[in-house]
Amino acid sequence: MVPANLATLAGRLRGARRVTVLTGAGISAASGVPTFRGAGGLWRNYRPEDLATPEAFARDPILLWEWYAWRRETIAGCIPNAAHEVLARWSQGDGGATIVTQNVDDLHLRAGTTRLVRLHGSIWELSCSRACAAGSAPWRDERTVMPGLPLCPHCQAPARPAVVWFGEALDENDLRAALEATACDVFLTVGTSSVVYPAAGLVDHARQRGAFTAEINADATPATALVDLAIHGGAETVLPELDRLIAVPRGLV
């Protein structure tokens, strides 16, 4: 017997012309990527809000790079899970879903997602911490063994991860693309604690523009009370189940 809320969401997705999915760290949890908040979400007792800032980098760039080197090494050993694979399929082809992610692990990319907005950048890209003319555009660096302090190849200043830190603005093209994607029929928020803005505000934006909104998360979040429908469970089991239901002819679910 299929739970009623899953069947309802599958019906909405089947009838939708435009679908947008916002993802957070929870979608990569089953791949082995640690989440930021909750059990196991901390690194040496530092909170991400204290480490992921320009001030923390200016104070102690080597400590920051230790954290990022640890995360890069961890992520390098992870592969996309069933949830990434379902979203990659949904994104492909004309009229495919737009996937907006807060994750910097690139597992959506590795799964083959085509219509992807990486709101917080990529941990596999670096940029010049002094934003020199040639080094302000991010470059790819997939080394898992990093020097203690990687340098900008153009001006030799410390390089930084090309990710968005607290207190920094999102890339305006990414933010515009994410806001445009809130004009949709169904907006899903998956595996995010919904506390970091502006990403956390997108679901409400979509709701105000008339989208049917739903949350898939292991736990309740501030978005739970806002959405039309909330499903509690792991993204890696709920999304494949939804995918299966969408393929079932109407009336048979």
CB closer to ligand OAD out of 37 and 207: 37
Amino acid at 108: H
Could you give the CA distance from residue 239 to residue 104 in angstroms, rounded to a whole number? 21
User: Which parts of this chain interact with ligand OAD (CB under 6 A)?
Assistant: 24-26, 29-30, 35-38, 41, 48, 52, 102, 120, 163-164, 191-193, 196, 217-219, 221, 234-236
CB closer to ligand OAD out of 59 and 134: 59
Q: Which residue is nearest to ligand OAD (CB)?
A: 26
Residue 102 CB, nearest distance to ligand OAD (Å)? 3
Q: Which residues are catalytic?
A: 120
Tokens of 241: 């189940």
Residue 49 CB, nearest distance to ligand OAD (Å)? 7
Evaluate whether 58 touches 70 at the Cβ level (below 8 Å).
no
Residue 194 CB, nearest distance to ligand OAD (Å)? 7
CB closer to ligand OAD out of 129 and 217: 217
Tokens of 204: 């409400």
CB closer to ligand OAD out of 39 and 247: 39
Determine phi and psi for 108, rounding to 5 degrees. -65, -45
Where do the DSSP E strands lie in 45-115? 98-101
Could you give the CA distance from residue 42 to residue 34 in angstroms, rounded to a whole number? 8
Could you give the CA distance from residue 149 to residue 33 in angstroms, rounded to a whole number? 23
Taken as a whole, the chain contains a residue count of 253
Residue 221 CB, nearest distance to ligand OAD (Å)? 5
Say how many C-beta atoms besides its own lie within 10 A of residue 229's C-beta.
16
